[in-house]
Amino acid sequence: MPESKAIAVLGYGAIGSVVCDRLLAGGVPGARLDCVVGRRAAGTSVPVVTAGEAIERADVLVECAGHAALAAHGEDALSAGADLVVSSVGALTDASLRERLHAAGPGRLFVTTGALGGLDLLVAAASAAPFTTVRLSTTKTPAALVQDWMEPSQKEALLSARGPVVVFSGSAEEAAALFPRSMNVAATLSLALPATPVEVELVADPAADLVAHVVTAEGPVGRYRFEVRNQPSPGNPRTSRVVPYAVLRTLREAL
């Protein structure tokens, strides 16, 4: 029987803790949770280590920690020969980080599809001929969209809204930069379809019990509309509950 691969998980929050639990339960054949990097991970049965130690020990580093952590450790992991699974896809809208990670190796880079679906068909259609328009409309609760950079009056207006409010419209890159923990999906779409700029609209809706993403794309090959409605994660309302399972699916590609 082939030996299982040693997996290190970077970040033990809404995504990382579920990834760890599933790995410990043997949910991914061929993958063995070796260690975790994260202050809150003290209760796990595997060693809690520094990022540097994790990179030395792991065959695959699964990043579930945020943009800054990916920027700090991603390149080192790939250069040390570990494969890297990325959750914080929004960080890759920074062209310099993206280029550094693509250029690094011998480890391989895997980017999860995260909270979004339908990319297989969209990428296939775009390879035949680029789309003329690609749009993403995302709806979340106001509380999930409040950001530190907002003026107090803007925060207050958002949190007291009684109906849907458009909080942002613009490019995927701007969306990922302004709403780093909430707009990974815009980055995922934009990176998958680089030939067509993605027009993003972000809506705060106090009645939004589910996180909604509606993708529409039109081009010479066809017209597509995908609607995703995800339950928020119990651990973090900015993250959809499905995301750790998407990360585990991506991990299977790295084994």
Please report, as ranges, the residues that interact with ligand NAD according to CB under 6 A: 10-16, 37-40, 51, 64-67, 69, 87-89, 112, 114-115, 181, 184-185, 188, 235-236, 239, 243
Q: What token pair was written down for 229? A: 């409605």
Q: Is 205 exposed, middle or buried (0-12, 13-18, 19+ CB in 10 A)?
A: middle
In the block, which residue shows the tokens 């909080």? 167
Distance of closest approach, residue 109 Cβ to ligand NAD, in angstroms? 14
Distance of closest approach, residue 222 Cβ to ligand NAD, in angstroms? 25
Choose the catalytic residue: 67, 73, 102, 213.
Answer: 213
Beta strands in the chain (DSSP E): 5-10, 31-37, 60-63, 83-86, 109-111, 133-140, 165-171, 198-204, 211-219, 222-230, 232-233, 236-240
For ligand NAD, give the closer residue by CB, 31 or 191. Answer: 191
For ligand NAD, give the closer residue by CB, 144 or 221. Answer: 144
In the block, which residue shows the tokens 């995260």? 114
For ligand NAD, give the closer residue by CB, 5 or 67. Answer: 67
For ligand NAD, give the closer residue by CB, 5 or 112. Answer: 112
In the block, which residue shows the tokens 């651990």? 235
Which residue's CB comes closest to ligand NAD? Answer: 13
* Nearest to 243, CA basis, from 41, 18, 21: 18
Active site residue 73: no
User: Do the bridges between strand 232-233 and strand 236-240 make them parallel or antiparallel, or are there none, so unpaired?
Assistant: antiparallel
Distance of closest approach, residue 230 Cβ to ligand NAD, in angstroms? 9
CA angle in degrees (0–180, nearest 5) for 137-142-148: 105
Q: Answer left, alpha or beta for residue 26, where phi above 0 means left and psi between -120 and 50 means alpha.
A: left
Distance of closest approach, residue 145 Cβ to ligand NAD, in angstroms? 13
Distance of closest approach, residue 197 Cβ to ligand NAD, in angstroms? 20
Q: Is 112 exposed, middle or buried (0-12, 13-18, 19+ CB in 10 A)?
A: buried
Rg from Cα positions in the chain: 18
For ligand NAD, give the closer residue by CB, 142 or 230. Answer: 230
For ligand NAD, give the closer residue by CB, 18 or 219. Answer: 18
> Residue 240's beta-bridge partner residues?
232
Distance of closest approach, residue 184 Cβ to ligand NAD, in angstroms? 4
Residues serving a catalytic function are 213
